[in-house]
Structure 1
Amino acid sequence: MRESIVDGPGIRFVIFCQGCPHRCPGCHNAETHDFSGGYDCDIDKILAAVDANPLLQGVTFSGGEPACQPAPFYALAKEIKRRGLNVWMYTGYTLEELSRLARSGPESPCRLAEDRKALRKLLNTIDVLVDGKYIEAQRDLTLRYRGSTNQRVIDMNRTRETGTLTLTEY
């Protein structure tokens, strides 16, 4: 957990989770790939840290792969939204892949099939989704809030409202 100005607009509190099935070459957070690493962090401790910083504009879920832990991230997102903050989430999955996993959930290294309902709730709660695997050959340092050109910054509120995938202006 830490504050950041590069993981979404404004000052953000970033929560990095442990475990990622994608293992993208060149990932800036490769130490989070191992599912058996990391440590447990109590939601109350996270919320206390969020509450302690009145300058925060939002909270960002990063990884590892947050979609591999949808239930705790959904619980956290609900509390963050209750505080009037926005929620961004980075994922190596595309929105289309997450939508399929939330509906039918084929077995995956992060057992998304066991937690489809929580994944649907998480996707219905977050404000912005930065989706797609990091592809080192498509790296572009001029991009805001993403590392490679294949990744999209999706306005989830507008996407849910219109039923059409809507990219943000970032």
Structure 2
Amino acid sequence: MPRITREPNNPTPKEWMAKDLSQKRIADYKPFNFVDGEGVRCSLYVSGCLFRCPGCYNVAAQDFRYGKPYTKELEDQIIEDLGQSYVQGLTLLGGEPFVNTQVCLSLCKRVRKEFGNTKDIWSWTGYSWDELMKESDDKLELLSLIDILVDGRFLQAKKDLSLQFRGSSNQRIIDVQKSLKEKKVVIWENLVK
């Protein structure tokens, strides 16, 4: 009998709204790591994701109730950690950052207020760039604060562990600010593979 493979969920524009879904919880916070983007990063893993990609490496974080509440104390700690001279920036992962905009917008706005553009912000998302362009104002506002976006659902059929900062070949590493300015996807200039 042929094996049936399940695909990730595919939302319609504005179907998954953070105000309806997010519990403002985080699955984990990992300061000073080297795997979630370029350079030394402080990584915030938010709780909750409805894409539910088969083969997801962080299944526990799909639950919006998983982990602990995002607090002002944690935000202060992240800002303090980002203040270290050797830290290049912040990374948002999950779960799904774009259905946790209350948490991610608060933090990203504070990063920009405290550090301007001296610290970069990376984010992973299951949304494609084209899907985000049709999304709600909160998602677009979050996107406007990000420097680098790894877009697209993880697809087991396209899994490739040799890819830089991605799990499957459909995912792209996008220079957000150049893409917004040029009104088309611009791939990150430091892409190796």
Q: TM-score, normalised by structure 1?
A: 0.86
* Greater mean alpha carbon deviation, residues 119-128 or residues 58-67: 119-128
CA RMSD of aligned residues (A): 1.4
List per-residue Cα deviations over 1:135-155 (Å, max 9, x = no partner): 112111111111100001110
Residues 13 and 50 in structure 1, CA contact (< 8 A), matched pair in contact too: no
Aligned mates of 1:151, 1:139 — CA distance in 2: 10
Q: Which has the higher strand share?
A: 2
Aligned mates of 1:57, 1:80 — CA distance in 2: 12
User: Structure 1 residues 40, 50: closer, same or farther in 2, change over 3 A?
Assistant: same
User: Structure 1 residues 147, 43: closer, same or farther in 2, change over 3 A?
Assistant: farther
The one-letter code sitting in structure 2 at the alignment partner of 1:46 is E
Q: Does 1:129 align with 2:149?
A: yes
Secondary structure at the aligned position of 1:80 is classed as: helix
User: Structure 1 residues 86, 44: closer, same or farther in 2, change over 3 A?
Assistant: farther
User: Which residue does the alignment assign to 1:72?
Assistant: 103
The one-letter code sitting in structure 2 at the alignment partner of 1:162 is E
The runs of 4+ residues in structure 1 deviating greater than 3 Å are none
Residues 43 and 76 in structure 1, CA contact (< 8 A), matched pair in contact too: no
Unmatched tracts of structure 1, length 5 or more: 103-116
Secondary structure at the aligned position of 1:124 is classed as: helix
Secondary structure at the aligned position of 1:146 is classed as: coil
- Structure with higher Rg: it is 2
Secondary structure at the aligned position of 1:143 is classed as: coil
Q: Does 1:98 align with 2:132?
A: yes
Map 1:1-170; keep pairs closer than 5 Å: 1-2=29-30, 3-52=32-81, 54=84, 55-82=86-113, 83=115, 84-102=118-136, 117-169=137-189, 170=191
List per-residue Cα deviations over 1:61-93 (Å, max 9, x = no partner): 000001001132112111112323111110011
List per-residue Cα deviations over 1:17-73 (Å, max 9, x = no partner): 101001111111111011222211214423323423512101000000010011321
Aligned length: 156
